[in-house]
Amino acid sequence: MLQCRAALRAVMCMSMASAPLLVGAQPSSGNGFLFGAPSGSLTLRAGLTQPTAGSEVFTFSHDHLTMGRGDFAGSTVSGELAVFVTERAALQVSVGMSSRVIGSEFRDWVDNNKLPIEQTTVLRRLPIMLGLRYYLAPPGRSLGTLAWVPARMAPFVSAGVGRVWYRFRQSGDFVDFQTLDVFASTLESSGWTTAGYGAAGLDYSLSAQFGLLAEARYDVASAKMSTAFSGFDRIDLSGVSATMGLTFRF
């Protein structure tokens, strides 16, 4: 009997030694890393913009109408797709839009009924840009050959060129300075022109895939005005903007 028990115990030990080891299930990604560095990101941002408004048409409006250059400040929204070409550099395509509607009246003139001579001015800008973003510090680090951990904060600079569409529209009542007649009219100039920009910002990681992105940007552009504004020089479409939004890494 003792010999049988010893033989049975030996068989069981051999079976356990030859059985495959069980491996516990692992999550596809952790809270703090990705399997491999991201190939790009998608960002949606919103903020404020202040056009420079430095050309003659703005000076004329400031001198004769109750508006200043600061009145053209307004909201802006943008979307941006970035694709990494190196560890620190990414090509990016961005599309934005800003719009401002301003009510005004002539400063020094009223109509025959002593009523204000009123008009509405609209300025819209829609830039489409291609640029390069460069991180001043690594946006993340690799652990081994698989895991990639994002840096909590990664400052960057960027620059690019593209095209911007604009519309400058004034509608309402105006004064003919030759005859002093008051007349109703709508004056509009719109079109596309070449633009460039420079920016600096900060990428702040909330998780491996999501983060916040804050950016300060300066756009440079000007465009020839239509015949409705004949006599004026090119309209100044430059301006500074400050935005913040959500980034998704993929």
Asked whether residue 128 is domain-assigned, the answer is yes
Q: pLDDT tens digits for 218-230?
A: 999 999 999 999 8
CB burial readout 73-108, b (16+ within 10 A) else e: bbebbbebebebeeeeebebebebebebebebbbee
Q: What CATH number is associated with residue 63?
A: 2.40.160.20
Q: Which of 69, 23, 63 is nearest to 49 (CA)?
A: 69
Phi and psi for 135 in degrees, rounded to 5?
A: -85, 130
Asked whether residue 67 is domain-assigned, the answer is yes
User: Residue 215: what pLDDT?
Assistant: 98
Phi and psi for 172 in degrees, rounded to 5?
A: 140, -145
Asked whether residue 1 is domain-assigned, the answer is no
DSSP 8-state secondary structure symbol assigned to residue 22: P
Asked whether residue 33 is domain-assigned, the answer is no
Asked whether residue 93 is domain-assigned, the answer is yes
Average pLDDT over residues 10-23: 39
Q: What's the burial of 49, exposed, middle or buried (CB within 10 Å: 0-12/13-18/19+)?
A: buried
Containing structural domain, residue 88? 38-249
User: Residue 18: what pLDDT?
Assistant: 40
Q: How far apart are CA 139 and CA 135, in angstroms?
A: 7
- At 33, the pLDDT band (50, 70, 90 cuts) reads low
Asked whether residue 87 is domain-assigned, the answer is yes
What's the predicted TM-score (pTM) here? 0.82
Asked whether residue 17 is domain-assigned, the answer is no
> What is the tally of structural domains in the chain?
1
Query: What string of DSSP letters covers 103-147?
Result: EEEEEEEE-TTS-EEEEEEEEEEEEEEEEEEEESS-SEEEETTTE
Average pLDDT over residues 73-85: 97
Q: Which two tokens stand for residue 16?
A: 């356990």
Whether 2 has a pLDDT exceeding 70, the answer reads no
